[in-house]
Every structure is written in structure tokens, then in C-alpha cells.
């Protein structure tokens, strides 16, 4: 019989089993009882996702689908704060190539032949003031909110803080020393706490049946790769792109 019992993470409370875990803490050691600040109480979220890197055919098909929806005159014309400005600034020849399914345009951000079929883990941790979390209301009852919040500009403007994002191949879960070594060399600020959390993640989710219970976020990775492709085509500071760069708090183990 498969073991379907909940998988707990030390120090954290379970929000969605095998997907989202939370922890409450005070952001200050000193509380002003005369003028209490409700934002001092914060809630942290540890969010897990598994994915496969998109194949070039998947990425190309996604771009073929999304671009027409953002062109002037489209019956489905909608404003997406990430896609719309990028598509609006594309050269006509690039738009035509993408609409025709030109896979060369998407090749740089798709999986390489040796990556096809491999499974990856995405672990990110962010904190929000308790009032901000309460304001989100019914949105927090949906698992997707926790996966999307990390990159939500409005939430960041109102107090969401990103602490780390770690990506690794599934097999790296079996090599916690490799993960720890990468964290120590990274720009993660609280390395000790991050290492403690990741050691537990490696221990708990290394059995493949446990790993398989994590939410599949491949569709999110296809979207991110599509955004990267559009940024690349416009030659707008490729190295500072917001999704796959190895910058503050981001650790690529591989």
C-alpha cells in the first residue's frame, strides 16, 4: 500500500501537504505596547514545486498561442503586465517568426537534449506581514497563490520579502552535501537557516514517491521561458532577466 500520510517539515506548519508550509515569527525583538505595529507579525511560506524544463516544441507552441492574444485587434486582447509590454515592442519580423512556430527563436530557453525527461525541484521561501496575508482573503485558499506570490510585484511593494529560490535536479536531493556547498557559495543572506531547511527537504522528499506528490509547475516554467525569449529578442539586458539568472537569493544546484 502506498504511504499517503502527511509529510511534515520541522519548524513549519502544513498549509498544503507536500506543497506549502508556513511559519509565524516576530520581525522585531522589541514591541511597542503603546503603539503596536501589526506588521511586526510576519508569516513565512516555504513553497515546493516540481517540473520538467520545457521542450523547444512546447515553448514555441506556447508563444504561438499567447502572442495573438496580445496583438491589437485581437478578440481576446487582454493586458498582461509582463507579456503585453514585451510583445508590443517586438519587431514585426520577430512576431511573424514566432507566429509561424520558428523554434530557433525559442531554442535558447528550452531544455537541451540531455535535460529532456529529467525532473527538477523548485523551492522558494518568502515572508509577508500578517495584515497583508489577511487582506488576500479567499486567494490564499488556492494553492496557486503561493506559487505566484513570489513574483507578484504588487505584493512585493506592499511588504512581501523574498528570501531564497533554489532549483535542483531530482537526483540532487540524494546529495545534500552538494546542495549545502552551493548554498554556502551563493548570495543567500541567511545561509545557516537555509541549509537547515534544505537538509530537511532533501531528507523528506528524496524518496521518489514523496517527490512525486509535489505539485507539477511545468506550465509556470513554460511561461517563464516564454518571457525570457521575448526579453532576449529585444536584447534588453539579457543578463539581468528576472527568471533564470543566478542573482541574490537564487541557487541553481546543477
Is residue 94 included in any domain, yes or no?
Answer: yes
- Please give the pLDDT value at position 112: 84
Prediction pTM value: 0.84
For residues 123 and 248, membership in a common domain is answered with no
Residues 45, 123: one domain? yes
CA distance 83 to 168: 27
84 shares its domain with 180:
no
Instruction: Give, in order, the Cα–Cα distances in Å from 181 to each of 34, 79, 106, 185, 246.
Output: 46, 42, 32, 6, 15
Whole domain around residue 121: which residue ranges?
A: 13-28+37-53+115-216
pLDDT of residue 236: 40
Residue 159 lies in a domain: yes
The answer to whether residues 132 and 62 belong to one domain is: no
Q: Domain check: are 119 and 238 in the same one?
A: no
Give domain status of residue 236, yes or no: yes
The reply to whether 72 falls in a domain is yes
**Number of helices (H), then strands (E), in the chain:** 10, 6
Cα radius of gyration rounded to whole Å, the chain: 20
Number of independent structural domains in the chain: 2
Query: Which residues of the chain are under the pLDDT cut of 50?
Result: 1, 236-247
Instruction: Let me know if residue 7 belongs to a domain.
Output: no
What are the residue ranges of helices labelled H in 4-152? 56-66, 83-88, 92-99, 130-135, 143-148
User: What local confidence, expressed as pLDDT, does residue 1 receive?
Assistant: 43
The position carrying cell 556547498 is 181
Q: 192 and 208 share a domain?
A: yes
User: Based on the domain organization, do 206 and 246 belong to the same domain?
Assistant: no
Sequence-separated (6 or more) residues with CB below 8 Å from residue 63: 98, 105, 106, 226, 229
Say what percent of the chain tops pLDDT 70.
88
Residues 137 and 67 in one domain: no
| b/e 102-122 (16+ beta carbons within 10 angstroms → b) | ebebbeebbbeeeeeeebbbb
Amino acid at each position: 500500500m502506498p504511504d499517503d500520510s502527511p509529510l511534515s517539515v520541522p519548524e513549519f506548519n502544513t498549509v498544503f501537504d507536500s506543497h506549502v508550509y508556513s511559519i509565524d515569527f516576530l520581525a522585531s525583538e522589541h514591541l511597542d505596547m503603546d503603539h503596536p505595529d501589526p506588521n511586526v507579525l510576519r508569516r513565512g511560506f516555504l513553497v515546493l514545486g516540481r517540473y520538467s524544463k520545457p521542450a523547444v516544441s512546447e515553448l514555441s507552441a506556447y508563444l504561438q498561442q499567447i502572442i495573438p492574444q496580445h496583438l491589437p485587434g485581437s478578440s481576446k486582447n487582454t493586458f498582461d503586465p509582463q507579456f503585453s509590454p514585451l510583445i508590443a515592442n517586438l519587431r514585426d519580423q520577430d512576431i511573424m517568426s514566432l507566429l509561424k512556430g520558428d523554434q530557433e527563436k525559442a531554442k535558447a530557453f528550452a531544455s537541451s537534449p540531455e535535460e529532456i525527461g529529467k525532473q527538477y525541484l523548485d523551492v522558494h521561501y518568502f515572508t509577508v506581514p500578517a495584515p497583508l496575508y489577511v487582506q488576500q482573503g479567499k486567494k490564499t485558499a488556492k494553492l496557486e497563490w503561493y506559487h505566484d506570490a513570489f513574483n507578484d510585484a504588487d505584493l512585493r511593494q506592499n511588504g512581501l520579502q523574498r528570501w531564497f529560490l533554489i532549483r535542483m535536479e531530482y537526483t540532487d536531493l540524494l546529495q545534500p552535501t552538494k546542495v549545502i556547498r552551493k548554498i554556502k557559495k551563493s548570495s543567500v543572506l541567511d545561509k545557516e537557516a537555509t541549509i537547515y531547511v534544505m537538509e530537511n527537504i532533501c531528507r523528506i522528499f528524496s524518496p521518489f514517491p514523496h517527490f512525486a506528490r509535489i505539485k507539477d509547475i511545468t506550465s509556470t516554467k513554460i511561461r517563464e521561458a516564454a518571457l525570457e525569449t521575448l526579453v532576449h529578442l529585444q536584447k534588453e539586458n539579457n543578463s539581468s532577466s528576472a527568471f533564470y539568472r543566478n542573482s541574490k537569493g537564487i541557487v541553481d544546484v546543477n
